[in-house]
Amino acid sequence: MSVLLGVVVGFMAWFLVNYLIAGLYTVDQNERAVKTVFGRAQRIAGKTTLSDPELAATLSEEERKRYDYPQLRVIPPGGPYFKLPWERVYKISVATQSVNIAMDPESPGANKGGTILEAVTKDQLNTGLTGQIRYRVSERNLYAYLFGIKNPIVHVMGYFVSVLREKIATFEAPKNELAPQTQATGLSDVSGVSINDIRKNLRSLNDDMDRDCKSSMARYGIALDASLITGIDPPNDVESALAAINTAHNQVSSEISLAQASADQKIVQSKRAVEIETLKAQAEVEPLTAMAKQLIDLKAAGGETALIAYLRNVRLSLFKQAKQYVLETSRREGR
């Protein structure tokens, strides 16, 4: 009897430890959890990836058929929660993480030990890229991350690298940024050097990568928060040639800027000279205009006789100021 009682007590203790106490769990603040029942994840009825307009907008028509994953019930941070013996809980960190763009999860020694990613530009120059990407697991598509693919980060890195290399191979600087420089200097060939274009437009390249990689959330359940490409390192011989080209370009740009500044200064001086002469002319015209107005008023008040008297007085004042004058007479008067 005592043996049987011991077996029962032992079984109850084992059951409590393995199925009741062990069934309690919590979810940290930077975690999300998903529960499976007999190996099948708990889903939201009738909801898929395409039910989310933002996720669906990043997929093409062909991709929508391929990446139509079900939406799962996400367990938020908190607890304690309880799971039954036939249930399993998957916890996923949703904290933002950073990795080098040259990292290869399957081959750590690739890309010079995960430090430099090689790519070929549109003018067939081999260059090395350095930088980082920030990513996080998206709780809006946990099915793709947990059950859709075996190793999501491998797929995401491969996807990112393929998009980046395609961008480098076809990159062209925005026309609205290069047009003023090309028009001012005439150095369209210098501006068209692909490595120079990429270096001058790293921000534009990063923005393009962020936009083109938005579908990674719908594809793999990983959201790329930002791509930070910080360095473009061509081979040494190419670097020295680019340095010479850039030096010549800067010298020409400097000379053109100085000539433009000198021309602008002369234009300003000419405008000021015209303004001064215009003011002088106006100063000379003003007394004449005032005199004409006075004569008109005088004629209106006294008639023709007033003007004759005015002219006589003016002549007398002039004769008074003159030291000598010549009086013209006719021949008849001279005889």
pLDDT in tens, 115-128: 888 888 887 778 88
Categorize the per-residue pLDDT at 182 as very low, low, confident or very high, splitting at 50, 70 and 90. Answer: very low
**Average pLDDT, stretch 136-140?**
89
Categorize the per-residue pLDDT at 9 as very low, low, confident or very high, splitting at 50, 70 and 90. Answer: low
The Cα 49–Cα 67 span in angstroms is 7
The Cα 161–Cα 2 span in angstroms is 69
The Cα 305–Cα 323 span in angstroms is 29
Per the CB < 8 A criterion, the answer to whether 222 and 136 are in contact is yes
The Cα 94–Cα 307 span in angstroms is 101
Per the CB < 8 A criterion, the answer to whether 224 and 160 are in contact is yes
Q: Which residue has the higher pLDDT, 147 or 303?
A: 147
User: Measured between alpha carbons, how far is residue 72 from residues 24, 64, 103 in Å?
Assistant: 21, 18, 30
- What does the radius of gyration of the chain's CA atoms come to, in whole angstroms? 44
**Average pLDDT, stretch 102-109?**
85
Domain boundaries, the chain: 22-242, 252-318
* CATH superfamily to which 22-242 belongs: Band 7 domain (3.30.479.30)
**Average pLDDT, stretch 132-160?**
89
pLDDT for 114 equals: 82
* Extended strands (E) in the chain: 24-27, 31-37, 40-41, 43-48, 70-72, 78-82, 87-93, 97-100, 117-120, 126-137, 222-233
Categorize the per-residue pLDDT at 33 as very low, low, confident or very high, splitting at 50, 70 and 90. Answer: very high
Q: What share of the chain is helix, strand, coil (3-state, %, to 5)?
A: 60, 20, 20
| 274-321 pLDDT tens trace | 888 888 888 888 877 887 787 777 777 777 777 777 777 777 777 777
